Amino acid sequence: MSCLLLGVLRRRNAIGVASVGARTLASVPSLPSSVSEFVSSAVAECKPAKVHVVTGTPEETADILANLEKDGMVKKLGKYENCWLARTDPKDVARVESKTVIVTKDQRDTIPIPAGGAKSQSHYVCNPLQHGSRELFPCQVRCSGDGFSVCGCQYGYHDPDGDPCAGETGSGSRVSPLINSWPCNPEKVLISHLPDSRQILSFGSGYGGNSLLGKKCFALRIASRIAKDEGWLAEHMLILGITNPQGVKRYIAAAFPSACGKTNLAMMKPALPGWKVECVGDDIAWMKFDSQGKLRAINPENGFFGVAPGTSMKTNPHAMTTISRNTVFTNVGETSDGGVWWEGLEPPAAGVQLTDWHGKSWKYGDSTLCAHPNSRFCAPAGQCPIIDPLWESDEGVPIDAIVFGGRRPEGLIN
């Protein structure tokens, strides 16, 4: 049975609706009218067998995890407090940028048009019929004119007040059996963004940024359009507070490409005596000038979704402390004493056996990798030992400097 995921995102708060199996919409708890209309429309079009409104209670979380463990999707890690291991289908291990589209009426609304007629690297011709949207999301192709233009189709349902998103893992249409009990359809992945109507339609992937629609999809792509309309900024930036030995504190935002060390910088442990760093966020910043003209920033996320390989007590001790409890690990190695392991950690103790991310026996020094290079940890931000006291401030923290960094295609040669 395929699984439909629906959500209405509000910064750190979310109302999620998941359909997995024979309950009518009339039996779900009371919802705001705009949310109810959105859910009713989605139910009518996608025809799920069950609707469940996620409330976020500890009892509900425990029930969900118990059912996932029963179905073989996650495994409890006995070495830590409330930590879990998930192994995905090897074909569903990362965001798929080539299958990610942004749908707008005009190309310039999505990407810059470079001078001289050069083609933008992020340019995709978006035709929902060619992408199979009618098959993936029945009854949701509603195009005008000739049906498509460059990055310019319209389809899906509309809820201007709810910032809706929808995800369909698509496992019901797969012929092959599930691998690791992981529902997905890698051959037909499509992650579409409709900024005009604040929508996200994700099909075929249950992994990371393709299913955590509140992260890159909403908090950066859709939020960038909302920010443009409302006069603020949604940026791929970490936020940290730094205090000097004299007790003067400043806040810094920093923008680097993925896998360039944003999390390590956001959780830095200064080597200089008397200096202190506190983490507001490690990935996304929403910024706006206040009434006094001061640029302020908030972290719209409630946790860290970081790359595991390379993270260690040497490179990021605060991250290691953060993920020691209440954490979900994906596609990392497993130790025979109920723990996790990945490249960059110290070799396991004598007598401890390793299982790689495929679930196969693995020995330290083998030519293959124990953990997938994009294996992840997902943990609550509030557990970080250096979380900033103002990290959840509604008005945000005052930004005093912005650092920009990039990645060179290759190293420098003397």
Catalytic residue numbers read 95, 207, 216, 236, 258, 260, 283, 376
From start to end of 238-281, where are the E strands?
238-243, 249-255, 276-281
333 forms beta bridges with 341
**Using an 8 Å Cβ cutoff, are 294 and 350 in contact?**
no
**Secondary element (H or E) of residue 15:** strand 13-19
The structure tokens listed for 121 are: 């690297």
Q: How far apart are CA 149 and CA 103, in angstroms?
A: 9
List C-alpha distances in Å: 308 to 168, 253, 277, 335: 27, 23, 22, 15
- CB neighbours of residue 99 within 10 Å: 19
How many Cα atoms sit within 13 Å of 143 on the Cβ side? 19
Nearest to 371 by CA among 355, 361, 356: 356
Residue 155 in 3-state DSSP?
Answer: coil
Residue 400 CA, chain-centre distance (Å), reads 27
List C-alpha distances in Å: 4 to 39, 155, 211, 381: 11, 18, 11, 27
Q: How far apart are CA 379 and CA 263, in angstroms?
A: 13
Q: How far apart are CA 85 and CA 97, in angstroms?
A: 25
From start to end of 149-258, where are the E strands?
164-168, 190-194, 199-203, 233-235, 238-243, 249-255
**Using an 8 Å Cβ cutoff, are 178 and 17 in contact?**
no
Q: How far apart are CA 94 and CA 141, in angstroms?
A: 27
Q: Where are the alpha helices (DSSP H) in 16-123?
A: 33-46, 58-70
